Chains A and B, each alone.
Chain A
Amino acid sequence: MQLTRRQLIAAGGLAAAAAALPAAASPAVRVRIRKFAFDPDTVSIKAGERIEWVNEDFAPHTATEDDYSWDTGELGKGSTASVLFETPGTHSYYCAYHPHMKARIVVTA
């Protein structure tokens, strides 16, 4: 998906990308990952907002865009990561480790 430019912050392993984001300036909408599902599984936000994922399962998960245009990387239990969505559009994503876990983000103008 090339219509969106995003910046990524992940709790672990992506420090370089995290540094690029001005300290949590934009509001974040939280998506919980629990019992092997994204909750809620569809989120609508406005362009310029962030989604923050928090993993509540023991099993590590990811939130990975279907076309790999963004990826939180591995989230252990209690870890969070966020992605900034600057352009309107719809994103389908899944967990790279448990591909049956699917969800959607709708970014409006």
Chain B
Amino acid sequence: MTFRLLSAAVLAGAMVLPAHAAEPMNDLEIAHTAYTAGQLDIRYAHLALAVSENADVRSFAETMIRDHSAVNSAAVDLITELNVTPQDNDLSRALVQGAADKRAELMGLSGSAFDCAYAQNELGYHQVVNKTVEESFIPAVTVAPLKELLTDALATFKVHEGHAEQMVSNLQCS
């Protein structure tokens, strides 16, 4: 497995991925990366709740916090049960850095400029993460309960992607 999927899509968001990204990821790295992706979306959502005055954007953000928290708490339960420690890795670090950059950009915006940038980022972020989870993580994972968790999580994230698409189109951003 490679980071090709993620790196290609992430370039648009100015996320720089490490050059040597072709090493296969193990279960613990995948678990850590999926968890990180959820936590980052929760942070975006908290920012949206702090800045946005748009009811649809706020309700979307609340749903992101609620759903990603639920999925990640299930992940923590599983990790605890399996008694393993998820591993930081190049991809999860790249995600963290990319999100920090994006948050910095979003923090400079307000009103509909913020709403549009947040909504478009949510759409792009879910598209990229979903593609990676579906095409790279799920096929690569070896532990059955983790595969199951990722599969359920993907179903949730796909609904979010659909909502984000709707939100972008409702906001009528240029």
Residues of B within 8 A of A58 (CB): 67, 70-71, 74, 152-153, 156
Does any Cβ of A come within 8 Å of B66's Cβ?
Answer: yes
Q: B152 is contacted by which of A57, A60, A76 (Cβ under 8 Å)?
A: A57
B158 and chain A: residue at smallest CB distance: A36
Q: B155 is contacted by which of A36, A76, A77, A100 (Cβ under 8 Å)?
A: A36
Residues of A within 8 A of B63 (CB): 97-98
Q: A60 is contacted by which of B67, B155, B159, B162 (Cβ under 8 Å)?
A: B67
B70 and chain A: residue at smallest CB distance: A58
Q: Is the CB of A36 within 8 A of B159?
A: yes
Q: What are the interface flags for B20-63 relative to A under an 8 Å C-beta threshold, 1 for contact and 0 otherwise? A: 00000000000000000000000000000000000000000001
Q: Is the CB of B71 within 8 A of A59?
A: yes
Question: Given A59-B70, A60-B70, A100–B162 Cβ distance below 8 Å?
Answer: yes
In B62-78, the 8 Å CB interface with A consists of 63, 66-67, 70-71, 74
Q: Is the CB of A98 within 8 A of B159?
A: yes
Q: Is the CB of B156 within 8 A of A59?
A: yes
Question: Given A58-B74, A77-B74, A97–B153 Cβ distance below 8 Å?
Answer: no
Question: Given A58-B152, A58-B153, A76–B159 Cβ distance below 8 Å?
Answer: no
Q: A57-B152, A58-B70, A76-B70 are in contact. List 6 more A-B contacts (CB 8 A).
A: A57-B156, A58-B67, A58-B152, A77-B70, A77-B74, A100-B162
Chain B residues close to A by CB (< 8 Å): 63, 66-67, 70-71, 74, 152-153, 155-156, 159, 162-163
8 example contacts (A-B, Cβ-Cβ < 8 A) are as follows: A58-B71, A58-B156, A59-B71, A60-B67, A76-B70, A98-B63, A100-B159, A100-B162
Q: Which 3 A-B pairs have the closest CB atoms?
A: A59-B67, A58-B70, A59-B156
